[in-house]
Structure 1
Amino acid sequence: MTAEPCDAIVLAGGSGSRMGGVDKPAIEVGGRSMLATALAAVEDADVTVVVGPHRDDLDPSVRQAQESPRGAGPVAALAAGLQQCGTAPIVAVLAADLPTITAEAVDRLREAVDTTGADAAFAVDESGRVQFLLGVWRTSALSERLTALGGLTNQPMKSLVPDNVTTVAMSDISDCDTEADLLAARARIAHTPLSIADARTTLRGAIESLPALEQSPIDAIGGALAQPLVAADALPRVDVSAMDGYAVSGPGPWQLDTAIRYAGSTDEVVLDPGHAVRIATGAHVPAGATAVIRDEHTDLDGTTLSHKDDTPDRDDTRRRGEDWHPGVTLAATGTRVTAALASLARSAEVTELLVRGPVRAHIVVTGDEIRRDGPLRDGQTRDSLGPVLPHYLSWCGMQSNASTHLRDTAGGFDELLAPGSTDTDVIVIVGATGGGAADHLRQALNRAGARIVVSRVRCRPGGSQVVAALPDERIVIGLPGNPYAAVATILLTAPAVAAALIGAPRPAVVTGAVANAAAVAPNGSRGDTPRIVPVHRRPDGTLVAVNQVRTAHLGALVGAEALAVIEPATPDGGVVELLPLPR
C-alpha cells in the first residue's frame, strides 16, 4: 500500500430495481453483507463515508451521507460523500454491490494513481468493461469535475471522467445487479478458498457478538467488557501506611504512645501533635497523623522517637485515591477480562461486570474408527486429539463445556445442529469437512439452514476448514480430521472467532524471523499456498522450522514454540506470522 493518506466513499444507495427493490448492500454473500465487504476493503482509509439511507448498525467511526434529492444517481451521491470526507489527497470510490472486492484491489488502484500521476484510476473487469464505481481519485480532481458539471442529478458516471486517467485490469470484481449475478457470486465464493487475512476479516464482519450479561468478575474471565470498567470506590479507600514504621504528628522528635496500628484494626486512635504510634504496612493511618516514617529512617530512645540523620525526609503514607478515585475508567469497552482485570475490578469494589462471553464450546469428534478409551480393535484409531482439544481452545479464548463422539452417518449431524441448545456458543467439529465419502458436515449445514461464513482457506494444512453460523447464531467450526491439521486450524481461526463473539479487538498478529524459511516456503512448482509448520527456538534465539511433519499425531509440536505461517517464496530469515503454542 502507498503511504499517501486516503479517504473512501462507499455508495450504498440505489433502488435495486432488478432485484425487486431490495436493499442490495445488505444482501449477504459469503457470510457477510456486500456493504460489510466494501467497508472491509477500505478499512485503512482515514475517513470512510457511506452514502445512502441511514444505517443504525454501522460503526460510529463511519460517516453517513445522503444525496439530495434521494435517488439522484451516483454522481450526486459522490458529491454528498465528498462533502463528508476529510483532507486526504486521494479518495477511493466503490459501490456496495461488489461481493468479492478486497483491500488488495483498492491498494492496486491507489498505487496506480501514485505511480502514474493520473487524476483517477479505474478497474477494468474480465470483459474489458471499465468499472467507474471502483476507482481511486485525486481528491482535487474529483472536486473540480463535480464543480464543472453544474447539475448533479441523474448524471452518468462517464460525465465525471477526467482526461488524465489510467486503468487496472482485475479479475473477479463483477457487481451484482440481478438474482443470477447474486447466485453466481455466492457459488463462486463458496468454492474459492479465502486468503488467511480475508478469512479473518470475513469472520469479524459476519459473526454477531454475543449478548451482554452481568457477571461477577471471576465468572467473567474469558469474556470482554461490554461497557467500561469504572471504579466504584477509591484505592486506597483511606490513608494507609505503605511500610512498617511509625505514624507521627507534626515535627519530631515524638513521644511514642503505647497503641499499635495493625492492618485491619478498627480501633479509634487519635494522635496529638508531637506524638507517634507504631504502624504496620496496610494499616489505616490514625487521625491527626501528618506522615508515616519507615523503621529504618528512625531512632528510638526509650519512648522518644526521632528521625535519623542522613536519611531521606519522606512520607510513606499512601493517600486515599492515590491509585484511583471513584468514577475513574479503569478499562475500556472491548477489553478482555483476564485474571488481572478480574482482580482489578475487585480492588475497585466492582461486584458485577457487563460482559460478552466467555465463549462456551462443544467439542465433537467424528469417525467410526475413533476410540477414546479401552483397547483398540482392528481398524480403530486412538482419539489422541479430543481429550487435549479443550487445552488448545482455552488458549484461543474458548471454554469447553461438552464433548461428543459422532459416527460417520449421513444424518449424524442433524440433531447436533438442530435449534435448542442454549449453553453452547461454538460447536467445534473434528473431521467430516473434506467432501469425501464419509464427510457429511457441509451437507448437514445446508440442511440446517446455516450461513457459511468461511468455506475454505488458502493454507496447508487446514484448507478444508469451514466456519458457519446456524440460524440460532451458534457458530460451527469444522476442522480437518488429522490431529496436526486440526490444531493448526484452531490456532489460525479460533482466536478470530472468539474475538468476534465477545466484541474484543482483532487479535494482534505475532511475527518472527525463521532462519530456514526458504526450505519450507512454497515456490514455483511447489504451489502458492502458505504452509503452516512448527518452529523451534535454538539456544542462540533463532527460530528454525520443521520441514517434514507427520500429521496423524502431535509429535511435531513437542518442544515447538509456535506454528509459523510460511508464505510463498519467503527467504531465509524472512519475517512470518507465528501462531504461539500453549505451554
Structure 2
Amino acid sequence: MTADAIVLAGGRASRMGGIDKPAIMIGGRSMLDAALDSVRDCAEVVVVGPHRHELDARFGQVREVPPGSGPVAAIGTGLTALGSAAPWVVVLAADMPFLTDETVHELLRSAAASSADAVFAIDDSGRPQYLVGAWRRSALVTALAELGSLVNQPMKAIVPAATVLVELPDIADCDTHDEVRRARESFAADRAAPRLDLTEARERIGAGLTPLVAYEAALSEVAGAALAAPITAAGPLPRFDVSAMDGYAVCGDGPWQLRRDVGFAGGARPTGLLPGEAVRIATGAHVPDGTTSVVRDEFAALTGDELARLPDSPIRGDVRKSGEDSNIGDLVAPAGTRVTAALRSAAASVEVTTGTVRGPVRARIVMTGDEIRSTGPLQTGQTRDSIGPVLPDLLAGCGVRVVDRVHLRDTVHGFDDMLTDTADFDLLVVVGATGGGAADQLRTAIARAEADIVVPRLALRPGGSTIVAELPSGPTVLGLPGNPFAAIAVLLALTPAIVAARTGSPLPRAILGPLHNAAAITAPVHRITPARYASDGGWLGDPTVRTAHLAGLIDRDGLVIVPPDATDGTTVEFLPLLS
C-alpha cells in the first residue's frame, strides 16, 4: 500500500525543560531517527519542526505556524507540504524510541484490511496513541478543513468516527527524564534478553520455576493440584464378586429353579446356590457362593419358577471377579497426575482418599492503574475494571485457586510491599504496569526485589510486554499487559505452563488443527486472536480484534495462536475459552 508520512519533531517538551526531545539518544540513535527509520518505505516523508541541518535531503522539512501550536497544526502543515498524493498518510511523533518499520507496516496492513478512515496504535495499557497512526488521506483533509483554525487543537478534535485500533508493542513515548532513563534501561535489557516466542517461553517456565512443596492432603480438597507421589490401590476393585448385569445368578447349566430371595447392590448377600438353583440379582450385587454365571434379563426365559436360557443366546459369565480391575498395590495414577474428578473417583473406588500433592496454585490478582475503578460511579478520567471480575473464573479453569483480588495505585514503590509480603499466594497475577510508560513500575520493582526473570518479554501480538519472574521467596509473578484482550490471551496461553511447572505435572496436550484463513491473520511475530469452529473442522480466526475490551470474545469458541508467515490451512494451536 502506498503511503506518505508526516513526522512530528517539534513540541515544547515543557516537562523536560524545553530541550530538543527528538534529538535525545536512546539505544544508539535519536528518537527522530527511530521515527524516520520506521517510515523509510513511505513514498514521501516530511518532518515538521525546527530545521535540522543534519537530516538527509530526501526528507522534507517544514515548520508549523506559529511554532509550538500543537500537533494538529503540525499535521496540517505537513500535509500541505507533501507533494505526493498517496492515498494513505502515516503520522508519527518523534518521541517514541522503540518505533520500527514493522510498526508502520502493521498500521498499513490493518488499514488495507478495513474500511476505516484511520488506524491508530494502542499501547500495552489499552490507551490509543493518536500520534502513531495511518490516515486515509481524504479523511484527514476533511477533518482538518472542518476545524477552521488548527492552532492548539486537541488530537481528538480530528479523530474520525470510523477508526480501527491495533495493539502494537513498544510504542510508549518519552515525555519526562525518568521515562528516557527507563527507555535506555529497557534497550539494555532487551539486548541481554531477547523476546521469546510462546514455545520458548513455556520451555523457560518449565525449566525455570521451582515446584511447590509437597504435602499430604485429602484429594477432595485439592482440585487443581498434582500428585507428588504415585497413588496405589488400598483395596481390590471390585471388593468382591459382583453381578455385571441385571438378571439371575445361577449355579450349573440349567434349567434352574428360581428362589424367592433377591440380591440387591448394597443389600444382604443371598445365601449360597445349589446346583440347579437361581436367584434374582441386580447389577453390582454381591453374587452368592456357588454362582457359575449371571444370565441377563434379555437372555432369560421364565416359566413359573423355572428359569431357562433363551435358545441361541450367547453364553457369558457377566460376573465381575474381586480384584478384576485392580488389586491391592496396583498403580492408580503416577506422580504428576492432575487431581481431577476422574482421579478422585478412581482413587475412592480402591479405598484411597488422600495423597501427597503439590498445589493447587494459589493466586493473588493485582489490578493496577489510577484510572481503574471496580465499583461505584466513574469520575473524570476513570474507566471501569472490566477484566478483574472475570479473571478468577478463567484462572480456575487453568487449575488456579484465587485467594484475593486487590487494586494498586500507580506509585513508584507501590509494588515493593506486594513483592515481599508473599506468604499467602504462589502466583501473583499483575494486570498492567508491564510496559515502559510513566506509570509502568512492575519491572523496576521486580529488579529491586532481585527476582529471577524467566520470561522477559514475548514475541507475540498482542502481549509483547508480558513478564514472568520468580521471587526470592518463591512465588511466581505473571505480569500481563493492561490491555484487556491482551491480558486474557496471554493468561490463557501461559498459565497452564506455570501451573504445570509449580505442581510438577506435564503440560496439557495442545489442541491442534487447521486455521482456514491464516493468511489474513499472520504477521512477522506470533499473533493470538479469537476464533470459532469451522463446520468442516478446524477454525476460522478474526483478522482484526478490538483489544481494549473483551467484546471480540463473545460468540467465539476460543483463541488461535498463528505463527509468522502462515498460509491458509496452517496447523495452529487452539486455546478453548474456559468460562
TM norm structure 1: 0.65
CA distance in 2 between partners of 1:227 and 1:460 (Å): 39
Which residue pairs with 1:77 in the alignment? none
Which residue pairs with 1:497 in the alignment? 498
Q: How does 1:81-100 map to 2 (within 5 A)?
A: none
List per-residue Cα deviations over 1:20-75 (Å, max 9, x = no partner).
Answer: xxxxxxxxxxxxxxxxxxxxxxxxxxxxxxxxxxxxxxxxxxxxxxxxxxxxxxxx
* Matched position secondary structure for 2:508: coil
Which residue pairs with 2:549 in the alignment? 553
Q: Does 1:409 align with 2:382?
A: no
List per-residue Cα deviations over 1:120-148 (Å, max 9, x = no partner).
Answer: xxxxxxxxxxxxxxxxxxxxxxxxxxxxx
Q: With CA pairs under 8 Å and 6+ residues apart, which has the higher RCO, 1 or 2?
A: 2
Which residue pairs with 2:535 in the alignment? 539
Could you tell me which amino acid in structure 2 is paired with residue 464 of structure 1? S
| Per-residue deviation, 1:210 | 0.7
Which residue pairs with 1:71 in the alignment? none
Pairing partner for 2:210 from 208, 211, 230: 208
Contact 2:228 2:356 in 1 (8 A): yes
- Runs of 4+ deviating beyond 3 Å: 185-191, 538-542
Contact 2:269 2:287 in 1 (8 A): no
CA distance in 2 between partners of 1:389 and 1:516 (Å): 30
CA distance in 2 between partners of 1:189 and 1:272 (Å): 86
Q: Structure 1 residues 294, 417: CA separation in 2 closer, same or farther (over 3 Å shift)?
A: same
| Per-residue deviation, 1:542 | 4.8
Identity rate, percent: 51
Q: Does 1:519 align with 2:520?
A: yes
| Per-residue deviation, 1:469 | 0.8
* Matched position secondary structure for 1:507: coil
Could you tell me which amino acid in structure 2 is paired with residue 521 of structure 1? T
* Matched position secondary structure for 1:255: strand
Single out whichever of 380-389 and 367-376 deviates more from structure 2: 367-376
Contact 1:433 1:479 in 2 (8 A): yes
Pairing partner for 1:568 from 560, 564, 567: 564
Which residue pairs with 1:157 in the alignment? none
| Per-residue deviation, 1:543 | 2.1
* Matched position secondary structure for 2:528: strand
Q: Does 1:287 align with 2:283?
A: no
List per-residue Cα deviations over 1:87-139 (Å, max 9, x = no partner).
Answer: xxxxxxxxxxxxxxxxxxxxxxxxxxxxxxxxxxxxxxxxxxxxxxxxxxxxx
Which residue pairs with 1:124 in the alignment? none
Which residue pairs with 1:235 in the alignment? 237
* Matched position secondary structure for 1:435: coil
Which residue pairs with 1:265 in the alignment? 267
Q: Structure 1 residues 451, 314: CA separation in 2 closer, same or farther (over 3 Å shift)?
A: same
Structure 2: runs of 5 or more not aligned: 1-186
* Matched position secondary structure for 1:544: strand
List per-residue Cα deviations over 1:339-389 (Å, max 9, x = no partner).
Answer: 111111111111211111111111111111111112222211111100001
Q: Structure 1 residues 251, 568: CA separation in 2 closer, same or farther (over 3 Å shift)?
A: closer
Could you tell me which amino acid in structure 2 is paired with residue 202 of structure 1? R
Single out whichever of 207-216 and 301-310 deviates more from structure 2: 301-310
Which residue pairs with 2:430 in the alignment? 429
Q: Structure 1 residues 257, 377: CA separation in 2 closer, same or farther (over 3 Å shift)?
A: same
Which residue pairs with 1:372 in the alignment? 374
Q: Structure 1 residues 258, 537: CA separation in 2 closer, same or farther (over 3 Å shift)?
A: closer
| Per-residue deviation, 1:485 | 0.6
Contact 1:220 1:353 in 2 (8 A): no
CA distance in 2 between partners of 1:244 and 1:447 (Å): 69
* Matched position secondary structure for 1:553: coil
Contact 2:206 2:501 in 1 (8 A): yes
Q: How does 1:127-526 map to 2 (within 5 A)?
A: 187=189, 190-267=192-269, 269-419=271-421, 421-522=422-523
List per-residue Cα deviations over 1:189-238 (Å, max 9, x = no partner).
Answer: 65421222221111111101111111222223211111122111111110
CA distance in 2 between partners of 1:195 and 1:308 (Å): 66
CA radius of gyration, larger in: 2
* Matched position secondary structure for 2:519: helix
| Per-residue deviation, 1:461 | 0.8
Contact 2:559 2:576 in 1 (8 A): yes
| Per-residue deviation, 1:283 | 0.7
Could you tell me which amino acid in structure 2 is paired with residue 520 of structure 1? I
Contact 2:513 2:538 in 1 (8 A): no
CA distance in 2 between partners of 1:298 and 1:415 (Å): 75
| Per-residue deviation, 1:297 | 1.8
Contact 2:262 2:270 in 1 (8 A): no
Contact 2:270 2:287 in 1 (8 A): no
Contact 1:190 1:455 in 2 (8 A): no
Q: How does 1:55-70 map to 2 (within 5 A)?
A: none
CA distance in 2 between partners of 1:579 and 1:257 (Å): 59
Q: Structure 1 residues 512, 302: CA separation in 2 closer, same or farther (over 3 Å shift)?
A: closer
Contact 1:530 1:567 in 2 (8 A): yes
* Matched position secondary structure for 2:301: strand
Could you tell me which amino acid in structure 1 is paired with residue 298 of structure 2? E
CA distance in 2 between partners of 1:382 and 1:409 (Å): 20
Contact 1:225 1:333 in 2 (8 A): yes
CA distance in 2 between partners of 1:511 and 1:296 (Å): 44
Contact 1:217 1:346 in 2 (8 A): no
| Per-residue deviation, 1:188 | 5.7
* Matched position secondary structure for 2:438: coil
Could you tell me which amino acid in structure 2 is paired with residue 576 of structure 1? V
Contact 1:222 1:358 in 2 (8 A): yes
CA distance in 1 between partners of 2:326 and 2:516 (Å): 47
CA distance in 2 between partners of 1:469 and 1:542 (Å): 37
Contact 1:220 1:337 in 2 (8 A): yes
Q: Structure 1 residues 305, 268: CA separation in 2 closer, same or farther (over 3 Å shift)?
A: closer
Structure 1: runs of 5 or more not aligned: 1-184, 523-527
Q: Structure 1 residues 190, 484: CA separation in 2 closer, same or farther (over 3 Å shift)?
A: farther
CA distance in 2 between partners of 1:301 and 1:508 (Å): 56
Which residue pairs with 2:10 in the alignment? none
Could you tell me which amino acid in structure 2 is paired with residue 493 of structure 1? L
CA distance in 2 between partners of 1:298 and 1:507 (Å): 48
CA distance in 2 between partners of 1:186 and 1:244 (Å): 74
| Per-residue deviation, 1:187 | 4.8
Contact 2:220 2:353 in 1 (8 A): no
Single out whichever of 271-280 and 459-468 deviates more from structure 2: 271-280
Contact 2:233 2:327 in 1 (8 A): yes
CA distance in 2 between partners of 1:296 and 1:579 (Å): 46
CA distance in 1 between partners of 2:295 and 2:188 (Å): 74
CA distance in 1 between partners of 2:263 and 2:270 (Å): 10
| Per-residue deviation, 1:550 | 0.9
List per-residue Cα deviations over 1:394-434 (Å, max 9, x = no partner).
Answer: 22221212111111111211221114x43311010100000
| Per-residue deviation, 1:538 | 3.4
